[in-house]
Structure 1
Amino acid sequence: MAENNYSERLNRVIPGGAHTYSRGDDQFPLNAPQILEKGKGAYVWDAHSKKYLDYGMALRAVNLGYAHDEVDAAAIKQIHLGNNLTRASLIELEAAEKIVDLIPSVEMVKFAKNGSSVTSAAIKLARAYTGKKMIARCLQHPFFSYDDWFIGDTTLKRGIPEETSALTVNFNYNDIASLNALFEKYPNQIAGVILEPATHEEPKDNFLQKVRETCTKNSAVMILDEMITGFRWHLKGAQTYYDVSPDLSTFGKAMANGFSVAALGGKKEIMDLGGIKKIGQERVFLMSSTHGAEMCSLGAFVKTMEICQRDSVVDKLWDYGSKLINQGNNVSKELGLLDHFKFEGVGCSPVYVTKDKSGAVSLELRTLFSQEMLERGVMMPWIALSASHGERELETTMEALRSALQVYSRALEGDVRAYLKGSAIKPVFRKYN
């Protein structure tokens, strides 16, 4: 069957062609594999057995490497024990105690299957705990949930009541004045503040500590979304790396090396609003999920944490990413492109920036770079690292990078569109297709 039929078949039966918009056709160059068959270590194979060195790593969900034998064995063990039982399972208790022991700010935890569920549960708890309605969210952080409280605050408002959208307001990262201004504008109305600890931009001038102080002063719940930073910046979370203690935290992605598990954790006095043991307490229906504590995923989580501790995985990510940034920028500099192509970000989670002749960020050039790396067997839609990325992978990447940037350089001097095999990638959050 021709390769282009996979896209047609996917979009015929799945809105968007995938179950995450970030996996859609509009997020990749035309020459990207339209469908993948398998992954192992740092590599993936398409339906025609073509092999790619992968930096997508399942949207950052895989931090050890695809099909990790020990993690898979731990998950399979739980499958053979029944996988989903009538009452709480032993592995459910072990996993809950593991994360409570691991993350200093977490005293209780609820598991779910995806990040949107736990961030929305955090919002519900913040409202229940404070009796307030409004949520302040960081404008620069791209995605918190598919639920209305967040999507209604983007350009994609169709299907969401205006009154819901109005309850979410924005502040800017590393700008404590913008957050304080919201509390002044909406006195005693903001229930919670949600942000990531860091992205490619790290906190400056004790920003996270100032957010903590502002939340405490205004009796608002501080929520740190560690969906990406958790178990990458530090095994105990970026909150430990940056020395800040939120009221609630959310985790997912890398916590189980690709198995579907997410977590909401935090202070007992807030989390226990969803409990059943305090007689006479008005109840919060927090989360109730048949598959939220699926045993195979929790077995994978426990084993992944064990391996991360044993093998110093976080240190490996920092080391590899720092080398990638330094060596990659040296190549770009040699080619005279450093003002137009540059690796940035923190060592454990690098990013690359593509700019046109005027210095403006260019999606066309980003598409071209990704396209040319794919031509050389490297899939780099973004950069997510795993413990399976080693010296051989770094060497392969640098060889592909040098060649791809030579094409990039020529396109920079001419018409980029003449070098593209198809359309440029598009922002996920856009009003029209």
Structure 2
Amino acid sequence: MDLPLSRIANERLHRAIPGGAHTYAKGEDQYPEHLAPVISHGRGAYVWDVDGNQYLEYGSGLRAVSLGHVHPRVTSAVHDVLERGNNFVRPSIVELEAAEQFLETVPTADMVKFAKNGSDATTAAVRLARAATGRPLVAQCADHAFFSTDDWFIGTTPMSAGIPAATMAMTVPFPYGDLPATEQMLRQFHGQVACLILEPTKGVAPPDGYLAGLLELAHQHGALVIFDEMITGFRYSEHGAQGLYGVTPDLSTFGKALGNGFAVAALAGRRDLMELGGLRDSRDRVFLLSTTHGAETPALAAAMAVIDVYAAEDVTARLHALGARLAAGVTEVAAAHGIGERVLVRGRDSNLVFATLDADGAPSQEYRTLFMRCLLENGVLAPSFVVSAAMTEEDIDRTVEVVASACVVYRKALEAGDPSPWLGGRPVKPVFRRKA
């Protein structure tokens, strides 16, 4: 597989765009050296790079494109509203229709407000919690990877340059699944914590009673609970993890799969909280979400079409079935090649990732590079194993075959005690690091 045009395009991207991409997780450094394709177009479960190479694509749009590229019902819905205009000086009827349909689908919420990205939604939720409680601190689950590009979260990462120490001190951690440790944190910062924000799961079902217990504990200490459902919303269940596990948070945020790649996110929650950002409440007003493009009609039309498709085609069940087939296949071939304890599949079937471990069983960027290189060279673009509904069982079986060939190389590297001859250059790097 040759990528000269992609290599040229990557150089141009770095000259024009800091990092060479608009999302760090899409950066060239996340892929083996000289094997970062620049995409020309996609259809269904496949994408083509500017060199004409075809790839079966996992994790499409960072988990956003769950139905596959250019889904006909989504495309048709977007085309229909484009013929009617996409942004006006007053709310369009599409805003009302999208809000009502969302609330019918996620009945645990009373009100919803749309935005263009998840960071705006989570930060609005944090601001709302601070206003409602009169408290300054945010408690964020330390076991989850990402919540927002805003200072309250980025200050907790190695990429905290430019964020004042005083701001960093306003966010405190708590561990997932550990109610006693969380209670200790709430006691330590007694009367200061406005909210606890977390993804409802860590890839597998939460410990029995944990989510309900966390909600009760937070309320006992006067704090609110925010579920970040950017990933779990729709991909786990169209009702969100809150519907799947039967626990209603005070506020929640959705995105990713909601628009099948179109830019739409949502903040949803209790009416008494959400009305703080409205016009029918006597309390001090909260500048909640006010975005010129937040209710752009094509994205909302896409969201409504996505909701329709999920309901009509039982998309969540299909994602789980495809993922289960993939997980079983990868686990089987890794074991067959004697590296079943080094190449692992983790997470819920609809949202799988892979782990690449070295000879000592430690996570390894070098072995991740080797593994990804083997997949890319065989037409599988897989920063994760997150499936889309556009995939077929044949696509999954082909992936397993490619993984099997990668396992042959992986085992050779383990036996040699050094993966570097198979890397083809520098190893891939973690997104959150202090130096480039």
Which interval holds the TM-score relative to the shorter structure? over 0.9
CA distance in 1, matches of 2:193, 2:204: 25
Task: Give deviations 1:22-78, integer Å, cap 9, x for gaps.
Answer: 000111112434310101000000002110000021100001100111101101111
- Secondary structure at 1:381's aligned position in 2? coil
Residue identity opposite 1:404 in structure 2:
A
> Are 1:300 and 2:297 an aligned pair?
no
Residue identity opposite 1:45 in structure 2:
W
Give the conservation status (yes or no) of the 8 Å contact 1:31–1:374.
Answer: no
> Are 1:335 and 2:337 an aligned pair?
yes
1:391 aligned partner: 393
> Are 1:234 and 2:240 an aligned pair?
no
> Of 28, 38, 49, which aligns to 2:31?
28
> Of 366, 369, 385, which aligns to 1:367?
369
**Identity of matched residues, %:** 44
Task: Give deviations 1:230-288, integer Å, cap 9, x for gaps.
Answer: 0011110011111211000000000011110000000000011000123x431111111
Residue identity opposite 2:374 in structure 1:
E
Task: Give deviations 1:317-349, integer Å, cap 9, x for gaps.
Answer: 011111111111011111111111111211111
> Are 1:317 and 2:319 an aligned pair?
yes
- Secondary structure at 1:298's aligned position in 2? helix
Give the conservation status (yes or no) of the 8 Å contact 2:5–2:51.
Answer: no
2:222 aligned partner: 219
Task: Give deviations 1:201-232, integer Å, cap 9, x for gaps.
Answer: 43113211111111111111100000001001
- Secondary structure at 1:349's aligned position in 2? coil
Residue identity opposite 1:27 in structure 2:
Q
> Are 1:57 and 2:90 an aligned pair?
no
1:410 aligned partner: 412
CA distance in 1, matches of 2:122, 2:140: 12
Residue identity opposite 1:149 in structure 2:
W
CA distance in 1, matches of 2:233, 2:301: 18
Further displaced range: 128-137 or 327-336: 327-336
> Of 181, 187, 194, which aligns to 1:184?
187
CA distance in 1, matches of 2:6, 2:48: 13
CA distance in 1, matches of 2:335, 2:386: 23
Task: Give deviations 1:339-373, integer Å, cap 9, x for gaps.
Answer: 11111211111121111111111111111111100
Residue identity opposite 1:417 in structure 2:
S
Give the conservation status (yes or no) of the 8 Å contact 2:237–2:316.
Answer: yes
Give the conservation status (yes or no) of the 8 Å contact 1:42–1:54.
Answer: yes
> Are 1:431 and 2:434 an aligned pair?
yes
> Are 1:326 and 2:324 an aligned pair?
no
1:78 aligned partner: 81
Normalised to the residue count of structure 1, the TM-score between the two structures is 0.98
Q: Which stretches in structure 2 are left out of the alignment for 5+ residues? A: none
1:259 aligned partner: 262
2:44 aligned partner: 41
How far is 1:105 from its partner? 2.0
Residue identity opposite 2:384 in structure 1:
W
CA distance in 2, matches of 1:39, 1:3: 16
CA distance in 2, matches of 1:17, 1:264: 30
Residue identity opposite 1:366 in structure 2:
R
- Secondary structure at 1:265's aligned position in 2? strand
- Secondary structure at 1:3's aligned position in 2? helix
Give the conservation status (yes or no) of the 8 Å contact 2:98–2:300.
Answer: yes
> Are 1:127 and 2:130 an aligned pair?
yes
Residue identity opposite 2:247 in structure 1:
V
CA distance in 2, matches of 1:134, 1:201: 28
1:381 aligned partner: 383
1:210 aligned partner: 213
Normalised to the residue count of structure 2, the TM-score between the two structures is 0.97
CA distance in 2, matches of 1:410, 1:267: 56
> Of 190, 195, 198, which aligns to 2:198?
195
CA distance in 2, matches of 1:267, 1:2: 51
1:400 aligned partner: 402
Give the conservation status (yes or no) of the 8 Å contact 1:190–1:220.
Answer: yes
Give the conservation status (yes or no) of the 8 Å contact 2:329–2:397.
Answer: no
Aligned length: 432
Give the conservation status (yes or no) of the 8 Å contact 1:79–1:296.
Answer: yes
How far is 1:90 from its partner? 1.1
Structure 1 runs of 4+ aligned residues shifted over 3 Å read: none
CA distance in 1, matches of 2:194, 2:269: 16
